[in-house]
Amino acid sequence: MAGNTLKHRLASRALLVAPGVYDMVSLRLANTFGFEALYMTGYGTVASHLGLPDAGLATYTEMVGRVRSMASQAAAPLIADGDTGYGGLLNVRHTVRGYEAAGAGAIQLEDQEFPKKCGHTPGRRVLPAEDMVKKIRVAAEARSSPDFLIVARTDARTALGLDEALRRADAYANAGADVLFIESPESIEEMHIIGARFDLPLVANMVEKGRTPVLAKADLEAIGYRMAIFPVAALLAAVHAMAGVYGHLKATGSSLGGPAPLYDFTELSLLMGFQDVWDFEKNHAN
């Protein structure tokens, strides 16, 4: 099972690097690099699938469909963003069961009020800690296998301070979380405080130009993090490249002399599985 691989990998002190994947092209491309885990970013998935902000607008049905599609082709365990669980405790149970059945190796649940917001944007509000403790307990009970991991995220740092975020993480660990995710520490010093506090695996959320310093792998390991996610790095790069292509097409009416290097079309066709189509047609040609 994918989760079993992820659980054993996180027992190591070596940092697990999980790139953000947001659609099937990004997932298939990430597969080719041999990552040990992939992170289904809510921000990128909602943006690419619905063209909407990551602000609680995507439904459970829409997101579990994305989980199923991605997990079916992922070459490594998929850590899937489950937002707030899409409602109350009964919804959390339904979400955990659905994500596990869809093939994810882990689900990330956060303690924001609904509708939630991206963790590096302003205006986030959090539930009472006791309400999130109940959600984590339900999530742990709902899974069919302990190898399906519960990643508990708190967004309390921004509005309520680091001490409250640490207190909540302690409570979520006691409630049954397997991995702790303290969102948006605002300095390296705060990251060191987090790293020294917990024995459970910790997630570092590396968002370029976000609220948290983006650090080198060795520095994250030294602090005590066991997983680093890079949810939007590929998406930011893709949008930057596309903006250059579209701008050049608008200005010149042609792709000739464009500002961005282009992926080889034949290689893209192979990446998307056309070789199987060609082989099938060759074998079954009349």
Domain borders along the chain are 2-238
Would you tell me which CATH number, out of the four given (3.30.1490.20, 3.20.20.60, 3.40.50.720, 1.25.40.10), belongs to the domain 2-238? 3.20.20.60
Taking residue 123's Cβ as centre, other Cβ atoms within 10 Å add up to 8
Preceding amide of 115 cis, omega within 30: yes
- Distance of CA 235 to CAs 18, 49, 167, 229, Å? 14, 13, 33, 13
Q: What average pLDDT does this structure show over 91-114?
A: 96
Output the pLDDT for position 120.
Answer: 65
The tokens of 113 are what?
């009020």
Output the pLDDT for position 119.
Answer: 59
How confident is the model over 40-81, as pLDDT tens digits? Answer: 999 999 999 999 998 888 999 999 999 999 999 999 999 999
Output the pLDDT for position 285.
Answer: 80
Q: What residue type is assigned to position 98 of the chain?
A: G
Output the pLDDT for position 121.
Answer: 66
Spell out where 52-184 has E strands.
Answer: 78-81, 106-110, 149-154, 179-182
The residues with which 152 forms a beta bridge, in sequence order, are 109, 180
How confident is the model over 192-241, as pLDDT tens digits? Answer: 999 999 999 999 999 998 899 999 999 999 999 999 999 999 999 999 99
Alpha-carbon distance of 262 to 275, in angstroms, equals 21
Alpha-carbon distance of 23 to 143, in angstroms, equals 25
Q: What is the residue-averaged pLDDT of the chain?
A: 94
- Distance of CA 27 to CAs 42, 108, 239, 272, Å? 14, 18, 16, 10
Output the pLDDT for position 5.
Answer: 83
Q: Whose structure tokens read 């975020």?
A: 165
Alpha-carbon distance of 38 to 68, in angstroms, equals 14
Alpha-carbon distance of 263 to 241, in angstroms, equals 11
Output the pLDDT for position 1.
Answer: 45
pTM for this model (two decimals): 0.94
How confident is the model over 240-271, as pLDDT tens digits? Answer: 999 999 999 999 999 999 999 999 999 999 99
Alpha-carbon distance of 273 to 283, in angstroms, equals 16
- Distance of CA 60 to CAs 64, 94, 142, 150, 281, Å? 6, 9, 16, 17, 38
Taking residue 185's Cβ as centre, other Cβ atoms within 10 Å add up to 22
Alpha-carbon distance of 28 to 75, in angstroms, equals 8
